[in-house]
Amino acid sequence: MFDSLIRDIKYYYRMGDSLIKLLYVLIGSFLVLLILGAFTPKGSDFMFVLYSYLKLPSSFSEFIIKPWTLITHVFVFSSVWGFIFEVMLLWIFGRIVSDLINQKRILPIFFITTVVSGILFLIFSSLLNYHSTYFGAKAPALAMAVIAASIAPDYSLRFILIGDVKLKFVVMIILIFELLSLASGYDLVFKLTSFSGALIGAVYIYMVKNGIEWKNIFSREKNQFANKSRTSSRKSPLTISYKASESNKKGSAIDKSNINSEVDKVLDKINKSGYDSLTAEEKEILYLASKK
């Protein structure tokens, strides 16, 4: 039974897209630290020392000694509930970003937001005389939320007791709660750093609309979004371009020469009626475009 579970985990990881693999790593790191903490004897400083090598320190002098913490801090969580909340945000908003504008953008958005927010934490700590550590994935989660809301503001999310709520309102409520938390003044630098993720997400949207693509930091692929966005008259703030490939062996009836206009129509329909309103063919168009 255990072997079967391991095989299933390996299979879904191998077959998953960038978002799935990222979530696997986050969940895995959380479980490893949780198990280590559970088996560490009381009175031992093992976990304290381990966390000191993973969390981002507030002082530049300590950071220079442990520069890897600029990345590793994102894999450390404050609590079980904090972990669940941040991973759920990443899953919900990351899935929208992945489905609508290309799953290749997920990792650049996540890690660049992680690095930039970490640098901002060091700056804020120096300016405000803050002495503690920073950790967690709330900054990239908020970045994903803002990007998703900018792409498809009228996309509907269904809640059990409330029903359908437009994405822009969901993100707005989350940001309002974050601002209220900032206004309390408690642990200001930590919370300000987390909120910076939302600002980084807004900067991402602005940069991509002006032809600067973050994923090109990891790839030399030409930014086709910039060329398309200057000529397209569609309403959505982002454009998906698709390059025809011989790999599509399903014999789809989609006219690939008109794929961009088809994607535009699909995105407009999502904005108006939500993802669930799409037909099977429209979902296939979106899937093919996201795999470009």
* Residue 91 CB coordination number (10 Å): 17
Rounded mean pLDDT, 127-150: 95
How far is it, in rounded angstroms, from Cα 140 to Cα 222?
25
Beta bridge partners of 164: 158
Report the pLDDT value the prediction gives residue 75, as an integer from 0 to 100. 97
Could you give phi then psi for residue 156, rounded to 5 degrees?
-95, 135
Residue 77 contacts residue 86 (beta carbons within 8 Å): yes
- No. of helices (H) and no. of strands (E), the chain: 13, 4
Position 224 scores a pLDDT of 44
Q: CA–CA distance from 9 to each of 120, 122, 262, 272 (Å)?
A: 36, 37, 35, 36
Percent of the chain past pLDDT 90, that is, above it, reads 51
What is d(CA 52, CA 183) in angstroms, rounded to the nearest whole number?
28
Residue 242 phi/psi, 5° resolution? -135, 130
Strands (E) in the chain, as ranges, are: 56-57, 133-134, 156-159, 163-166
Q: Cα–Cα–Cα angle for 204, 208, 209, nearest 5°?
A: 115
Q: Domains of the chain: which residue ranges?
A: 2-214, 240-290
pLDDT tens profile 238-286: 444 333 344 444 444 444 456 667 777 777 776 666 666 777 777 677 6
Name the DSSP letter for residue 237: S
CA-nearest of 146, 139, 168, 144 to 156 is: 168
Q: Which residue has the higher pLDDT, 6 or 72?
A: 72
Contact by Cβ (8 Å): 125, 131: yes
Cβ proximity of 133 and 238 under 8 Å? no
**Which listed CATH number (3.40.50.1820, 3.90.740.10, 3.40.50.2300, 1.20.1540.10) goes with 2-214?**
1.20.1540.10
Three-state secondary-structure class, residue 77:
coil
pTM assigned to the model: 0.74
